[in-house]
Amino acid sequence: MLILQPGVMAFYSAELHAGEHKHSAVQVVWPVAAGGWQLDQTDASPSEQPMLIASGVRHELRAKQCWVILLERHSRAGRAATKLLGDHTAFALQEAPLEQAMIVQNPAHMLGALAGLLGVSAQAFNPQPDDVRLRRLVAQLDQCFVQGCVKPEQWRAGEIAADLGLSESRFLHLFRQHMEIPWRPYLLWRRLLCACNGLRTGKSATAAALDAGFSDSAHLSRTFRAYFGMSVREALTMAK
């Protein structure tokens, strides 16, 4: 079970052992009932409380019956999580585990609960811009999933701004205001999504990477792992 959209990647795992790794995204580990997690190699009993892990922190994770959520650190949700972390690299939150039946059957409930925990609206995970120009832009980007990925050089901020009748600085401000994530990381997440979609539809790793604007499959693999701490293939396996 996998949720992958601009700014958030989330998956449920009955049992997970992730060896030592780090990633750009801010991480949330949230057990469902009877679940728990441990960081690194410790003899401590598994914790049943939700946990935040800061961006770029090297760690090892063992978890059972948990949701693992990775947030773009520049998004509204990622910034809220980073604010909660303060000077900590990781800490447990005093919240009860999620109800297992509800959370496994309804991932939207999990994201709603997480939004409440972070102090943001649920829309932070799936923003819908009020500005008609931005709605048209997002609709054009969505066509990548239907008609094939549009090369990222066609999505330069200055050129988009000109098409929308805006200055580049005004466009970047407007986009961040409405989409709750800056344009450049948003576009990178979209490119990673396009590459994943290409692999799902049977393209080779090289073709999927080139279509999404990566120099080769190794470049795609490095970028994906840097953001999420796992390979593209591992993520697609969880989506099945």
Where the chain has pLDDT below 70, the residues are 1, 41-45, 95-105, 144-154, 238-240
The reply to whether 115 and 144 lie within a common domain is no
Note whether 139 and 112 are same-domain residues: no
Q: Which residues pair with 28 in a beta bridge?
A: 52, 69
- Which tokens go with 77? 């949700």
**Tell me, what CATH number does 144's domain have?**
1.10.10.60
Residues 109 and 218 in one domain: no
- Residue 224: which domain range? 132-179+182-239
Enter the pTM of the model: 0.88
Residues 54 and 161 in one domain: no
Are 154 and 189 found together in one domain? yes
- 232-239 and 183-200 helices, crossing angle to 10°: 70
Q: Name the burial class of residue 118, with classes exposed (0-12), middle (13-18) and buried (19+) by CB atoms within 10 angstroms of its CB.
A: buried
pLDDT one-digit tens code per residue, 64-106: 888 899 999 999 999 999 999 999 998 887 765 566 544 556 7
pLDDT digits (tens, 9 = 90+) for 41-62: 565 667 888 889 999 999 888 8
**98 and 193, same domain (yes or no):** no
List phi, psi (to 5°) of 101: -60, -45
Is 112 in the same domain as 206?
A: no
Q: How many domains does the chain have?
A: 2
Q: Do 117 and 221 share a structural domain?
A: no
On whether both 162 and 103 belong to a single domain, the answer is: no
CA distance 78 to 125: 10
Residues 235 and 142 in one domain: yes
Last residue of a domain, one of 80, 106, 125: 125
Angle at 117 between CA 30 and CA 22, to 5 degrees: 50
Tell me the CATH number at 19. 2.60.120
* Residue 240: other Cβ atoms inside 10 A: 7
Pair 117, 7 in one domain: yes
Query: What does DSSP assign to residue 70?
Result: E
Look up tokens 């999404």; give the residue: 212
Give 153-162's long-range contacts (Cβ < 8 A, gap of 24+): 153/213, 155/187, 157/183, 157/184
Whether 23 and 109 map to the same domain: the answer is yes
